[in-house]
Structure 1
């Protein structure tokens, strides 16, 4: 049902827009309301919307009247006329303004037809219906005309000016300010009320930023005023990071079935917030659309020119689905005494007012009849008052347009006052034979006057506040089912850099479809753990959500950049929170630490047992064959090599960090030097046993001892230089492992560390080379083969250690070095001494059996 009403209204409005009509001067003009006075002010107002003008020309001379079909009776617009009545009554009661002379008026209802506005303008000048151009049929009316107030839209104002400007009659338009009127009217353009575009633009921008609405649509009239608004507001929105989702120019749907209709519906489904700029007439083309697409829950932001959107047509539907609109209106004070004046209004008070007859019959549903096309009341409530009517048909509060009409009357009165003052000063004022001044004589006084002034003062003061105050309204549901404008905030504008926005969030009502403040983005907001990336078309409004990289988080929605956690914290898996890191090091309680400690103790025990075995069988040929002292040194150094791995386990401290590498380097250099000395003895043994050789065995023994001492001392010197320049120290690694703070020993000088390893490699390579060359020398207890194999194992372990060590972090790095120490030491122990232990035990066992059985 609702959709049918909307589409029927749409069709009728289209018919209005497409109707091409012209009036005939032989047809009587619309009746007006005249009240005599020394000076007469014309008024052209719009009290209804009709579907067809009743003057359509058929041929050159004949015309046919077709009854008007009233679509909307804008009863609230009658307040515009009452504002004029009230102002004129106050002026007439004050003898100082017009020197004890009176103001009268001549009013017409032009509906929303530009042709009616032009015809009524000619009737004002002619004083007769039908109007006769360039003739004054009733001089008692036309000669007193000094100025005209009207019309309600810029189009109607332009048509009125086309007539009045030919006769230089001043016109004050209460329509929205339109700069294009100066170019559309060739002669004298109408006087317009000041515009507060900068304040209004900034107010809308600040409201959008307050609710973080950055994806907004625009609906503007298809004229220069709409184009100017679109250009300026778009520039301001871009400067503040707000994007225009779409911009539609009215008429939004020039003909039924036009693609613009469907296109706008698509836009409204994708855009939650729409800024509507225009006047009442522009809005009428959008009524049916708002009703039809109510389920979208759009938020409408309107300007003060849209005040009369609260018109009495299908009120429940309009209020229900337009509820939540936010309206900007330049702040104005209530007209003092105007509410009391409205309460006193009654048809009996204005018996000749044909307009109150029409409005009263609608407001109070009174029976009526027509006389000469004018509605007459037959029976009505005797004590009826406008204050008892519901808000959907009448509002006692002063509307912005009524305020303008009231100010316009005072502006004309002020101009008359100044013109009459010149006559008084010239002693030419004679009330007996007084004639109204020619209309164009008021232009100099109107041009220097200001329309935006405080009208509550009896004397008109040409003052303008330095700051502009704009009230923000919304529509609230009442118990009666209607809605009332409720002030929810205000915007004070001093300059682009100085402005203040205040809103009462508790009073803001955003319609039946919005339980909370809706989002207005081209895409949904980015959740926690994601950041926004720019869209190539709408860089600062539309965005894609990209997960934060490893090690970074976002703890708020719609963040532009991810950020890293503090060094002592790490991000969780969702990357939306920082958690405290765990302190980690290779401790004795860890499973890996327990295994390594057990292996160290076991291998050290095996080394001690082998040393004890060698000491016990020190006089056997196997032990004595290759210098048993070197064997003792080697076994002790290997035992210390196993034990030195224990310094790598536990929390790193300054002492342990310094000792672990020094002990490792020195002890291993002793072990490898002892193996080199053993290799040297194997080779030199064959040299000394040859006849005529100058070398004696004692010399070989001393030389081997010198090799052990020199090899060890060089390593000691390297370690001393290391300690003296850049020694190892305890350090903290917060980056290698996520969620852990790794306590480690920084090697200090990396060059010194690799010099220690390089020197050990040099000794091992030299031993391997000599042993490999001496592996085939004939001797029962030749160690060359075992030395060769043990050096191959030793070199393999430490060659594989370097890349593994460099690619490891944290506890793994420490474990790799401990494993290399244990593996290389165990390789030396196994290859060098296990075969000898087997031979010692086997031979000592057979020798023991022989002694027993003999």
Structure 2
């Protein structure tokens, strides 16, 4: 039933706006409440919300009167009038403030309508209602006007100031502070109360951080205040890691087809925490919407201008659905004696107050009748008191707006006091000749900013206090109805670096969540081993979780960046902890090391056996062919090549790192040079035996020796340059292998290393080309064919070595080079000497067998 009532109210609010605009209404006379005094302060207040045609024009002479459609009676706003009357009565009782002179007032109800506020402002200046523009009908009223207090919203304050600024009449607005009003030249008479935006923003942000609410929505009025709030607080929230889920701007009375509210409903379902910035009247429709859609379970954070106790809804309804809301209000003390004053208020005490008749009839549900457009009470409770009314219609506590009105009266009274002090002659004051000062003479005193009040406190207008204390309230749904808000904490702000938030969580009542702090984030925190990814504007709140890259960890949830492990450590599989790396190198104990060592020793032993065999049969034609000395050099160099591979195995040290590549390069250059010399002998031998050739065999033999010496000497020179410039040295590799620190030999100059290999490649290519050209020469002992085949395989091994070597790291890289050394040595040994061994052993007949038996016996 209650939800139905709230939803019906929402429909009525929207329908009245659309349907009433069909009529052409004339503005009826605005009746005011006047009390005479030596000085008169005007007051413009809003006691109800009415639906009127926005297209109407001023027509004060029209007699046509159509009743206004009252959408909502804001009975609690009558407290603002009482605050003004109470302040004036206290000032009149103090002879020291105005030198035994009195203050009067002229109060108007402008509803919540800017056109009516403009008309009432003109009525204050002309002394009549309806007013006659630019004409004073009653000088006894208008000449006493010194200042005006009003209005309740920025729009109403602006329209009032447009009129009063023409006559330079001071106006103190109790509406929320609007920075744009101070920048308008035509509103030069307008004064506003202090703004505490920095304190308010920081207080809200600290509260959000306290509860880890980092995904929140914003609802603001569709004006400059709302734009400025979104801009400023969004920047602060982003700096503190808080994201704005949405920022919705809406008018007080939206159109029925306004898509903005439908979009807001969808967003409320996805966002748990919503900040509502603005005064209560900016969100009259929104409150009805919240009550109608109460299943969202949102936590509302409101500003000091959001005062829900003003709303004339049933208490149980409004506080049930705002049960978890938190409100920020600048700290203030209760106005001394104001509650007792409210208890004493009665229509009989103020018979000329036309507004109390209307309010009283609503508060006490009294029968009434209209007389000249004014509601008159016929029967009502004789001893009725405002203190007996429930919170949904009246609150005895001082509202923020009432506090401002009371302070504004004292600000004007203090300005009058200072102006009158200038007219004092000696110790006496000629009261009979003293007249009300012209209104614009109060501007210098109001602009000073420091204005006294009755309780000796200070109020600053248009300035901001250096230290601000903000009270934090929690809306409670109390069965007794004695309280609507409970103070649960406070925020003290001195500067961005000096601020303190204190909360009493035991007092915070979150009914919609069974007092459990709700979760308000776009996504839960990333687990250990994962980090957040950037996602544009909402990177802080809406993010994806990706695993940490290799070598990095996260040891806490929700981390933005992964932590890189030290070089001597590596992450575990979960990537939430760094572990110590183990050192690794190709050692003799490794399976791969054992295999390579065995292969190297076996190949060296096999080379030694062939060398022994060739020495034993050194006088045979097959051994003597092609220079047996070159054969011995080649076999010795191949044996050393196999042995040099052993220097690559074991923990790298300075000696082994320096010698292993040098020995490898020099020994292999000797072997390949010997092969080139043997090929050269084959070619030159056929030329030497041709008829008429002057070339002798002894010359060919000597040239072959020169080839071996020159080929190896050039390699020695390259290695010497390498050693003299940037020699190899022991090094560590901490990145290539996961979880390992690889001990290796850094080659120093990579260019020198590839020069050594390139030179070997040059010798091999030259030998291959020479052998290929001599492969068809006829001779029984022609070695061109086996040399051609062996050099082809040799070149293939080392050509494939380079990409393979570069594609591996650590121990595998060393193993690849060792394997290439052994494979190339085995190819040369097998292709060039195994056929000769076969011929020596198998074709020598019984001569070899006899020698074998002789050795055995």
- State the Cα distance separating 1:826 from its structure 2 match: 0.6
Of the candidates 512, 515, 529, which is equivalent to residue 517 of structure 2?
515
What are the superposed Cα offsets for residues 283-304 of structure 1, whole Å, 9 maximum, x if unpaired?
2132223334545565655443
- What CA distance in whole angstroms lies between the structure 1 residues aligned with 2:11 and 2:714? 106
1:219 aligns to what SS in structure 2? strand
- What CA distance in whole angstroms lies between the structure 1 residues aligned with 2:799 and 2:59? 111
Aligned: 1:74 with 2:71: no
- State the Cα distance separating 1:406 from its structure 2 match: 1.3
- What CA distance in whole angstroms lies between the structure 2 residues aligned with 1:37 and 1:58? 31
* Partner residue, 1:794: 794
* Partner residue, 1:638: 638
What is the 5 A alignment of 1:101-120?
A: 101-103=101-103, 105=105, 111-112=111-112
* Partner residue, 1:13: 13
Aligned: 1:234 with 2:231: yes
1:71 aligns to what SS in structure 2? strand
- State the Cα distance separating 1:45 from its structure 2 match: 3.6
Greater shift, 764-773 or 115-124, is seen at 115-124
2:602 aligns to what SS in structure 1? helix
Assess if the C-alpha contact under 8 Å between 2:679 and 2:771 holds in 1. yes
Aligned: 1:22 with 2:23: no
Assess if the C-alpha contact under 8 Å between 1:275 and 1:302 holds in 2. yes
- What CA distance in whole angstroms lies between the structure 1 residues aligned with 2:157 and 2:701? 126
* Partner residue, 2:257: 257
- What CA distance in whole angstroms lies between the structure 2 residues aligned with 1:392 and 1:2? 14
- What CA distance in whole angstroms lies between the structure 1 residues aligned with 2:695 and 2:734? 61
Assess if the C-alpha contact under 8 Å between 1:208 and 1:214 holds in 2. no
* Partner residue, 1:656: 656
- State the Cα distance separating 1:401 from its structure 2 match: 1.2
CA separation of 1:444 and 1:576: change in aligned 2, threshold 3 A: farther
1:467 aligns to what SS in structure 2? coil
What is the 5 A alignment of 1:807-826?
A: 807-826=807-826
1:409 aligns to what SS in structure 2? helix
1:486 aligns to what SS in structure 2? strand
- State the Cα distance separating 1:419 from its structure 2 match: 5.0
* Partner residue, 1:593: 593
1:285 aligns to what SS in structure 2? helix
Assess if the C-alpha contact under 8 Å between 1:52 and 1:69 holds in 2. no
CA separation of 1:505 and 1:378: change in aligned 2, threshold 3 A: closer
- What CA distance in whole angstroms lies between the structure 1 residues aligned with 2:245 and 2:782? 93
* Partner residue, 1:486: 487
- What CA distance in whole angstroms lies between the structure 2 residues aligned with 1:21 and 1:694? 136
2:306 aligns to what SS in structure 1? helix
1:502 aligns to what SS in structure 2? strand
- What CA distance in whole angstroms lies between the structure 2 residues aligned with 1:852 and 1:732? 53
- What CA distance in whole angstroms lies between the structure 1 residues aligned with 2:117 and 2:184? 16
- State the Cα distance separating 1:840 from its structure 2 match: 3.0
Assess if the C-alpha contact under 8 Å between 1:9 and 1:288 holds in 2. yes
2:797 aligns to what SS in structure 1? helix
What are the superposed Cα offsets for residues 377-435 of structure 1, whole Å, 9 maximum, x if unpaired?
755888x783x87765555553321221111222333344345445542899566xx59
* Partner residue, 2:192: 193
* Partner residue, 2:407: 407
CA separation of 1:846 and 1:472: change in aligned 2, threshold 3 A: farther
- What CA distance in whole angstroms lies between the structure 2 residues aligned with 1:327 and 1:570? 50
CA separation of 1:319 and 1:779: change in aligned 2, threshold 3 A: same
* Partner residue, 2:333: 334
What are the superposed Cα offsets for residues 713-758 of structure 1, whole Å, 9 maximum, x if unpaired?
4433433332233221122344555655443222223343233334
- State the Cα distance separating 1:663 from its structure 2 match: 1.8
2:257 aligns to what SS in structure 1? coil
Gaps (5+ residues) in structure 1?
none
CA separation of 1:158 and 1:849: change in aligned 2, threshold 3 A: closer
- What CA distance in whole angstroms lies between the structure 2 residues aligned with 1:484 and 1:424? 48
Greater shift, 837-846 or 524-533, is seen at 524-533
Of the candidates 445, 448, 451, which is equivalent to residue 448 of structure 1?
445
CA separation of 1:424 and 1:748: change in aligned 2, threshold 3 A: closer
What are the superposed Cα offsets for residues 761-796 of structure 1, whole Å, 9 maximum, x if unpaired?
344444445544554555554444333332332233
Question: What is the total number of aligned residue pairs between the two structures?
Answer: 826
What are the superposed Cα offsets for residues 81-118 of structure 1, whole Å, 9 maximum, x if unpaired?
44334423432342222334444556555554567767
TM-score, normalised to structure 2, is 0.77
- State the Cα distance separating 1:827 from its structure 2 match: 0.9
CA separation of 1:191 and 1:499: change in aligned 2, threshold 3 A: farther
CA RMSD of aligned residues (A): 5.4
- What CA distance in whole angstroms lies between the structure 2 residues aligned with 1:125 and 1:300? 43
- What CA distance in whole angstroms lies between the structure 2 residues aligned with 1:58 and 1:749? 99
CA separation of 1:117 and 1:375: change in aligned 2, threshold 3 A: farther
- What CA distance in whole angstroms lies between the structure 2 residues aligned with 1:259 and 1:104? 48
- What CA distance in whole angstroms lies between the structure 2 residues aligned with 1:391 and 1:791? 106
Gaps (5+ residues) in structure 2?
none
- What CA distance in whole angstroms lies between the structure 1 residues aligned with 2:292 and 2:148? 39
* Partner residue, 1:425: 425
Assess if the C-alpha contact under 8 Å between 2:50 and 2:112 holds in 1. yes
What are the superposed Cα offsets for residues 504-523 of structure 1, whole Å, 9 maximum, x if unpaired?
46658888469346237xx9
* Partner residue, 1:752: 752
- State the Cα distance separating 1:645 from its structure 2 match: 1.3
Greater shift, 843-852 or 635-644, is seen at 843-852
TM-score, normalised to structure 1, is 0.77
CA separation of 1:288 and 1:518: change in aligned 2, threshold 3 A: same
Assess if the C-alpha contact under 8 Å between 1:218 and 1:244 holds in 2. no
Assess if the C-alpha contact under 8 Å between 1:568 and 1:734 holds in 2. yes
Assess if the C-alpha contact under 8 Å between 1:367 and 1:380 holds in 2. no
- What CA distance in whole angstroms lies between the structure 1 residues aligned with 2:117 and 2:822? 108
Assess if the C-alpha contact under 8 Å between 1:336 and 1:456 holds in 2. no
What is the 5 A alignment of 1:551-562?
A: 555=554
Assess if the C-alpha contact under 8 Å between 1:491 and 1:499 holds in 2. no
What are the superposed Cα offsets for residues 22-58 of structure 1, whole Å, 9 maximum, x if unpaired?
3545xxx7685x76766555544444556799xxx99
